[in-house]
Amino acid sequence: MLDLPVPADLEIKRTEDSLEFTLPFTNESKFWIWFAALFWAGGVLAIYIAGIAAQQDFIIIGGLLHLLIGVLLVLNALASSYNTVKITVTRTTIEKHEGPVFVPFRRRHYSKNWADVKKIYVDTITRKNRTYDRLNLKTHYETDRMLVMWDKGDYLKIVLREIKSFLSEK
């Protein structure tokens, strides 16, 4: 593998017993998720104010789904701004943790023993003019997609290079 430079927002801590990576949660522009969240929240707020002013209970009850969607958008916006992904590798396990903001419907914590892993690799796919790098763990029964990043350099290739280097040491 080529000698790839480590990006400024990819932090690598290496000790004798472990290897830890800290990556950005997302590499997308945060403007659009914040715009969508604030636009949606403003619309829901206007509907609730109108429903309360008109004393229409069905508008308030009907707006609960819209309120839930707004909460999910705000959580995703907060996560895009404040969350990081930590990958910790030891001689026996590999773990991934996303935090501190909880986002529903995302696998926040992932852990696998190396004894169960047959292969670790990065593959690259292109869909709709966007290139995705995926860090995968192949076990005896399935392939787990541990992390996906797009349009931003070789983060996962660097992570893979460092993991293989760390595991080859005794």
Question: Nearest Cα to 94, choosing from 159, 152, 3, 140?
Answer: 159
Q: How confident is the model at residue 146 (pLDDT cuts 50, 70, 90)?
A: confident
Say yes or no to pLDDT of 158 above 80. yes
Element (H, E) at 37: helix 31-53
Quote the CA–CA distance of 30 and 87 in Å, as a whole number.
23
Structure tokens at 21: 């990576």
Say yes or no to pLDDT of 13 above 90. yes
Instruction: Give residue-wise pLDDT tens across range 42-71.
Output: 988 888 888 888 888 777 777 788 889 999
Q: How confident is the model at residue 170 (pLDDT cuts 50, 70, 90)?
A: low
Helix, strand, coil tally for the chain in percent (to 5): 40, 35, 25
Say yes or no to pLDDT of 36 above 90. yes
What pLDDT shows up at residue 151?
64
Element (H, E) at 70: helix 64-82
Structure tokens at 24: 């950005």
Neighbours of 85 (CB within 10 A): 18
Neighbours of 1 (CB within 10 A): 10
Question: Percent of the chain beyond pLDDT 90?
Answer: 38
pTM exceeding 0.85: no
Mean pLDDT over 15-30 rounds to 85
Neighbours of 145 (CB within 10 A): 12
Mean pLDDT estimate for the chain: 87
Residue predicted with more confidence, 137 or 107: 137
150 φ, ψ to 5°?
-135, 150
- Is the CB of residue 76 less than 8 Å from the CB of residue 26? no
What pLDDT shows up at residue 90?
94
What pLDDT shows up at residue 2?
59
Say yes or no to pLDDT of 108 above 90. no
